[in-house]
C-alpha cells in the first residue's frame, strides 16, 4: 500500500501543483537517502568504532574515485554485473560507478606496483539492486573494507580478518552473531566430485549462495531447470551442502570422504581450514564461527577462504528458533584479481573483509529511538547572549574573541533577541553555558556566565572567561 | 609534450602487451586521482582543521546521495550546466552526479520543510571540466560547505561566513590570501544603469566573472562580440569593474555615484555592504577583505553578497608583483534557491561558503615533500616479534591479548620471521616498540620490550605489558 501511495503522490507531483508551480518530484533517487544530523551522529559513532579497530590492526587508509573506467569493472562480478551503474556517454571515456571497494583496490595495487599493503577504505558503493530500505538495503551504501595484500604464510592474514569482524561486531553490541566460513577450493572440489562441468562452477556457485534465503528444493530446481545441471549432480551437491556439525568433526569427516579426499583442491582447502581454526582457537573466537558448506558468496573473484557474518534474532524477540536477520559483513581471499589488472599478470594474493553498515545503522537507529536517549547534534559550549537591546556589537566582539580562543560558540542572528528566546535555544539544542553581556557587566569588565542545567549565574572577569568555559565543559 | 606522450602510452596500452595480455588501460578516469596513505594523512589533517572550525561555529552535519534526480539540478547553474555528469538511462529515473553541495542542501531543506539550519557537509562533487591536475583542478573533488539557512537580521550570518573562511585559511598556514567581496544586487544595479537589458544580466555576469583570469579587453570583446551587448554599455561596465580602492572609500563613492545611487537594488546592496564591513571590523578581519566590483561568481543562484578567497603568491617566490595562485573558497547568499524546490514556493534565505581543498592539498603536499618531514601512515604502537623459530602460536596469543586490550599491534605474517626483518619493519614504518617473545621469556612469564629509537630492551611482566605500552606511547 505504501508503495502505491508513493506512486500516486509521485504522479500527482509530476502533474504539478495548483499554481503551475514546480513540476518535479521532491525526493532523493530510488534506493538512496539523506542523513540528517541525528543520523549522522549515529553514523559517526559506528565509523569511529570501525576505524579504531582497523587502526588497531595497523592498517593504512586510501581513497579512490567514485567511478572507474567501465572496463576496469568488466568481468569481475559474474551474474551481478547487470547491477552496475553506468555513466552516460557524454564524449570521452566510458565510466561506471564502483560496485565495491575490492576491485578498485586491486586496480590500485596493480597500477602502483604495490606488493604488500594492509589498508582500509570507507566509502560509498553503488548497486542497481531492488532496494528494501526498511531492512537497510540501499542502492547507495557504505562499505568499510580492510584488506591484506601480499605473499605470506597460509591463513595468518585470513585469521586476522575474522578476528576483525569479531571485534567490530562485539564492540557495536548488536546482539548475537555468527560468522560462517567456507573455502572456494572446497566448493570447487565438491562440484568436481559431484560431476558439475568446469564451465558451470561459477553459476552453480551463485545458486548455492542463495541457500541462506531459499530452501534447498528451490535451489535444486534452479540448478537443474535454469542452469541445466543433471539431477544426479544436483542431488550429490545437496548431500554436501546440507551437512552440519561442529567444525573439527566436519573437517575430519570431509577429509575422510572417499570422493572428496581424492580431489586435490578440496584437500588443500580442508587442510587450510584446519589451520585457520587452529589460529582462531588461539584468538579465542571459535565460539562464534561456523564452518558452513552452504556458504558460497556471489562474487566471481574469490579463490580461497570465504566468510560472512550474520546477525541472529535476539532472544527477547520471542521467536522460537534463531532466525537470521541478515548479513552485515563478508569477505574472503582473492589471489587472482590483481593479476587480472597487471600488464604482466603479476599476482598479488589478497584477503579482506567488508563491513556493510546500512543494516547496522538501521538497528542502532531503532534502538536509539526506543531508548529516548537525547543525542546532541552540535558540540557548542556556550551561547553568547544579551539581556538588553542594542548589544549586537558587543555580542559580535565577544563571540569573535571566543572563536579565536578555540571555544565553540553560537549566538542568535538577531539584532535584539529576547533573553527568554536565547535561553530556550540552549534548552532545545543542549548548549550547557550562556555568556550574557549587559550594560552593567560591560562597565564592570565581567561577563555573566549562566549554567543552563542549574540556572546558576556567576560573574566572571572577561580575561578569565575562556579558561572558565574550558574548565566547565571539559569531559571528566 | 607530456600530453602527447600520455596519449601515445594510452594508445600503446590499448593495443595490448606482448603476450596478448589485458588490453585495457590501467588508470583512473580523466581528471580523477587515487589518494595513497601519505596523501590521506595530509587530507585528514586538512579535514580536521576545517571540521574543527565548522563545529566551533555550532554547525550540525548532514549527508546526501552522490546523485540527484536530473531535474533537481536543471536550471540552477546557468552556462555551467553543460559540465554536469549524467548517468546512463538504464530504466527508471534519470540521474545526475551532484555538481555542488548547495543545490542538494536546498533540496534537503525544501523536502524536509526545514526553516532554520546551520549545517556543514563535506563530500565529493563532479564537473566535466577541463582538468588541470597539477594546479589542483579535478573532475572529482571535495567541497567543504558551511551554510546558514533562515530568516535573520541582515549581514550577521554573512559576516560569520567570511569569519570562517578567514579562520580556516589562517589556520592552514597557506601563506597570504585575500577575500574578495561583492553583491549581486550591486552588480545587477550596475548592469541596469549601464544599459544592459534584463535578459542579459546573467550572461554578462558570467563574462565579468572571467576578469580574474583574462584582461578587460578580452572580456569586453566577449560581451560585445559573443553576447551582443552594445559597445557603450560594455564601456560603462568597464569603468565600474575597474574601480579599486579601500572599502569605506569605494562604498561612499558608489553611494554618491549619480546613476548608481538612483538604482534601488544597488543602493540596498551598498547599504548592506557598509553593514557587513562594520561587522567584519568587529571581527578584526578587514585587513584581508577587499570590496571588488569585478567579482561576479559563475553560478546563477546567488542573490546578495558573494565572495571568493584567493591565495597570493609568496614573497619568497621572487615575482615582482603579487600574482593570484587561485581561488580556494567561495560562496554567497542565495535567497531564492529553496523556493525553487518548495511546492508552495516558500522561501528560506541562505548564505554559505564552500572550501575547495584540492588546491590546498596540492600546496601542502608540495610543502611536505620539500620539508622531508616523515609522515607515519599508521598508528601502530607495538610489533609483536619473536627471536626464535616455532613461536608463531605464542605471537598470535600475545597479539590477540594486546588487540583485546585496545593496543594497536602488528606482527609479520610469517611462520618464522628473522628478528632483523622484524626490527627493520619497525624502522621503515615508524613503530616505536617491539614486544619480543622467546623461549626463556615465556618460561619467566615476561616479554622483552624493545624501544626502537634507543635500542634499549627491558623485561616486562606479561600482566604489566599493556600498561607499560600505554605509558610509553601516550602523547605528552
Residue showing cell 535567497: B335
Q: How far is CA B332 from CA A284, B303, B449, B455, in A?
A: 57, 8, 57, 57
CB contact under 8 A, B403 and A57: yes
B154/A137: higher pLDDT: B154
Residue-level pLDDT at A183: 97
With helix as H, strand as E and coil as C, how does A325-380 read?
Answer: EEEEEEEEECCCHHHHHCCCCCCCCEEEEEEEHHHHHHHHHHHHHHHCCCCCCCCC
CB contact under 8 Å between A403 and B62, yes or no, is: no
B25·A380 Cβ contact <8 A? no
**Using an 8 Å Cβ cutoff, are B349 and B336 in contact?**
no
pLDDT band at B315 (very low <50, low <70, confident <90, very high): low
The mean pLDDT of A73-86, rounded to a whole number, is 91
- Show residues of chain A in contact with B71, CB under 8 Å: 24-25
Mean pLDDT of B321-334: 76
Arithmetic mean of pLDDT, B458-466: 97
What does the pLDDT read at residue A476? 59
| B93 touching A (Cβ < 8 Å) | yes
- pLDDT for B87 equals 97
For the beta carbon of residue B133, count every other beta carbon within 10 angstroms. 14
In this prediction, residue B169 carries a pLDDT of 96
Which residues of chain A have a CB within 8 Å of the CB of B415? 153, 156
pLDDT for the residue numbered A325: 67
Total count of residues recorded for chain B: 476
From the CA of A156, how many Å to the nearest CA of chain B?
A: 6
Query: Does this complex have an ipTM over 0.95?
Result: no
Grid coordinates belonging to B419: 628478528
B24 touching A (Cβ < 8 Å): yes
Length of chain A: 476
SS3 A181: strand
**pLDDT value of residue B18:** 46
Q: How many contacts (CB atoms, under 8 Å) link A and B? A: 254
Helix axes B392-404 and A264-282, enclosed angle (nearest 10): 50
B101 belongs to an annotated ligand binding site: yes
Give one word for B263, left, alpha or beta, with left for phi > 0 and alpha for psi -120 to 50: beta
The 10s digit of each residue's pLDDT in A320-365 is 333 346 889 999 999 999 999 998 889 999 999 999 998 898 888 8
Give pLDDT, residue A321: 37
Q: What is the pLDDT of residues A217-256, one digit of tens each?
A: 999 999 999 999 999 999 999 999 988 888 899 999 999 9
pLDDT at site B366: 84
Q: Which residue in the set B74, B153, B392 is minimally distant from A414, CB to CB?
A: B153
Which of A29, A59, A410 minimises the CB distance to B69? Answer: A29
CA distances from B272 to A253, B155, B268, B286 (A): 83, 7, 6, 15
Half-sphere exposure of A354 (CA within 13 A, CB side): 22
Q: Among partner residues A62, A112, A282, which is closest to B396 by beta-carbon distance?
A: A282
Contact check, Cβ <8 Å, B153/A415: yes
Least reliable range by pLDDT among A313-327, B299-313, B415-429: A313-327
Beta bridge partners of B460: B447
- Please state whether beta strands B117-126 and B140-149 pair in parallel, antiparallel, or not at all (unpaired): antiparallel
Mean pLDDT in residue range B359-379 = 87
- Say yes or no to pLDDT of A34 above 90: yes
Q: Is A424 exposed, middle or buried (0-12, 13-18, 19+ CB in 10 A)?
A: exposed
| pLDDT value for A146 | 98
* Residue from B98, B55, B143 nearest B359 by CA: B143
Q: What is chain B's Cα-based Rg? A: 29
CB-nearest partner of A343 from B26, B88, B148: B26
Q: What is the mean pLDDT of residues B126-131?
A: 92
A26-30, A168-172, B44-48, B131-135, range with the lowest pLDDT: B131-135
Q: For residue B138, give the 3-state DSSP assignment.
A: coil
pLDDT in the model for residue B12: 60
Q: Which of B19, B93, B404 sits opposite A30 (nearest CB)?
A: B93
Q: How confident is the model at residue A259 (pLDDT cuts 50, 70, 90)?
A: very high
Starting at the edge strand found earlier in the chain, the sheet holding B382-386 runs B409-410, B382-386, B433-437, B446-451, B457-461
Q: Is the Cβ of A16 closer than 8 Å to some Cβ of chain B?
A: no
Q: CB-based contacts of B9: which residues, under 8 Å, 6+ apart? A: none
Domains and CATH numbers, chain B: 37-370 (3.30.930.10), 382-473 (3.40.50.800)
Contacts of A341 in chain B (CB under 8 A): 22, 26
Mean pLDDT along residues B425-435: 96
Res. B345 pLDDT band, cuts 50 70 90: confident
Residues 404-433, chain B, touching A (beta carbon < 8 A): 404, 406-410, 413-415
Which of residues 265 through 304 in chain B touch A, CB cutoff 8 A? 279, 282-284
Q: Give CA–CA dist B180/B289, Å, rounded.
A: 6
Q: Which residue of B has its CA nearest to A114?
A: B36
With the C-alpha atoms ordered A211, A216, A222, A224, is the resulting torsion angle positive or negative?
positive
Q: Would you state the cell numbers that stand for residue B1, as one nine-digit string?
A: 609534450
Q: If contacts are CB pairs under 8 Å, which of residues 311-350 in chain B contact chain A?
A: 340-345
A25 CB neighbours in chain B (<8 A) are 69, 71
Output the CA–CA distances (angstroms, integers) from residue A89 to A86, A95, A386, B10, B436, in the order listed: 9, 8, 58, 19, 57
Write the pLDDT tens digit of every residue in A283-293: 999 999 999 99
Indicate whether A22 pLDDT > 70: no
Contact call for A71 and B24, based on CB within 8 A: yes
Q: How far is CA B93 from the centre of its chain?
A: 30
Identify the weakest region by mean pLDDT among A17-31, B247-261, B437-451.
A17-31
Q: How far apart are CA A26 and CA A40, in angstroms?
A: 22
Whole-structure pTM over 0.80, yes or no? yes
Separation of alpha carbons A341 and A301, rounded Å: 13
- Considering only residues A96 and A371, tell me which one the structure prediction assigns the higher pLDDT: A96
Q: Does residue B140 sit at the A interface (CB-CB below 8 Å)? A: yes
Q: How far apart are CA A247 and CA A262, in angstroms?
A: 21
Which of these ranges, A68-77, A134-143, A165-174, has the smallest mean pLDDT? A134-143
d(CA B463, CA B456): 20
Residue contact B111–A27, C-beta within 8 A: yes
Give A-chain residues touching B67 at CB under 8 angstroms: 29, 32, 140
Task: For chain A, give the mean pLDDT.
Answer: 91
| pLDDT tops 80 at residue B6 | no
What confidence tier does B131 reach under pLDDT thresholds 50, 70, 90? confident
Amino acid at each position: 500500500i505504501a508503495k502505491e501511495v508513493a506512486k500516486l503522490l509521485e504522479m500527482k507531483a509530476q502533474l504539478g501543483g495548483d499554481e503551475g508551480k514546480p513540476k518535479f518530484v521532491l525526493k532523493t533517487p530510488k534506493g538512496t537517502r539523506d542523513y540528517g544530523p541525528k543520523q549522522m551522529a549515529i553514523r559517526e559513532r559506528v565509523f569511529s568504532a570501525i576505524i579504531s579497530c582497523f587502526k588497531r590492526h595497523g592498517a593504512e587508509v586510501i581513497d579512490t574515485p567514485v567511478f572507474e573506467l567501465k572496463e576496469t569493472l568488466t568481468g569481475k562480478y559474474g551474474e551481478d554485473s547487470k547491477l552496475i551503474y553506468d555513466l552516460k556517454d557524454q564524449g570521452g571515456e566510458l565510466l561506471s560507478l564502483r560496485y565495491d571497494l575490492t576491485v578498485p583496490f586491486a586496480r590500485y595495487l596493480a597500477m602502483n606496483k604495490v606488493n604488500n599493503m594492509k589498508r582500509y577504505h570507507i566509502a560509498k558503493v553503488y548497486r542497481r539492486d531492488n532496494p528494501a530500505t526498511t531492512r537497510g538495503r540501499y542502492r547507495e551504501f557504505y562499505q568499510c573494507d580492510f584488506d591484506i595484500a601480499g605473499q605470506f604464510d597460509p591463513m595468518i592474514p585470513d585469521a586476522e580478518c575474522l578476528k576483525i569482524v569479531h571485534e567490530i561486531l562485539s564492540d557495536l553490541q548488536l546482539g548475537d552473531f555468527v560468522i560462517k566460513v567456507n573455502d572456494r577450493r572446497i566448493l570447487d572440489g565438491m562440484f568436481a566430485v559431484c560431476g558439475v562441468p568446469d564451465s558451470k562452477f561459477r553459476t552453480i556457485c551463485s545458486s548455492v549462495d542463495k541457500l541462506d534465503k531459499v530452501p534447498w528444493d528451490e535451489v535444486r530446481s534452479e540448478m537443474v531447470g535454469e542452469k541445466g545441471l543433471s539431477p544426479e549432480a544436483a542431488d550429490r551437491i545437496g548431500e554436501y551442502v546440507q551437512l552440519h556439525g561442529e567444525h573439527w568433526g566436519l573437517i575430519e569427516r570431509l577429509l575422510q570422504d572417499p570422493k572428496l579426499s581424492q580431489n586435490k583442491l578440496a584437500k588443500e582447502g580442508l587442510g587450510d581450514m584446519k589451520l585457520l581454526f587452529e589460529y582462531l582457537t588461539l584468538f579465542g573466537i571459535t565460539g562464534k564461527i561456523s564452518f558452513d558448506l552452504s556458504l558460497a558468496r556471489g562474487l566471481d573473484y574469490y579463490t580461497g577462504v570465504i566468510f560472512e557474518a550474520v546477525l541472529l534474532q535476539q532472544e527477547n524477540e520471542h521467536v522460537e528458533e534463531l532466525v537470521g536477520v541478515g548479513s552485515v559483513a563478508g569477505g574472503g581471499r582473492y589471489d587472482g584479481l590483481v593479476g587480472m589488472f597487471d600488464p604482466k599478470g603479476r599476482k598479488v594474493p589478497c584477503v579482506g573483509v567488508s563491513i556493510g553498515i546500512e543494516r547496522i545503522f538501521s538497528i542502532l537507529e531503532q534502538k536509539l529511538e526506543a531508548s529516548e536517549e537525547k543525542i546532541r547534534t552540535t558540540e557548542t559550549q556556550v551561547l553568547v547572549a544579551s539581556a538588553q537591546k542594542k548589544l549586537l556589537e558587543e555580542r559580535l566582539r565577544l563571540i569573535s574573541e571566543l572563536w579565536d580562543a578555540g571555544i565553540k560558540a553560537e549566538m542568535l542572528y538577531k539584532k535584539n533577541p529576547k533573553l527568554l528566546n536565547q535561553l530556550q535555544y540552549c534548552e532545545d539544542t543542549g548548549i550547557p553555558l550562556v555568556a550574557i553581556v549587559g550594560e552593567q557587566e560591560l562597565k564592570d569588565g565581567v561577563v555573566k556566565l549562566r549554567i543552563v542545567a542549574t540556572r546558576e549565574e556567576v560573574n566572571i572577569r572577561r580575561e578569565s572567561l575562556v579558561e572558565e568555559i574550558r574548565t566547565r565543559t571539559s569531559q571528566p
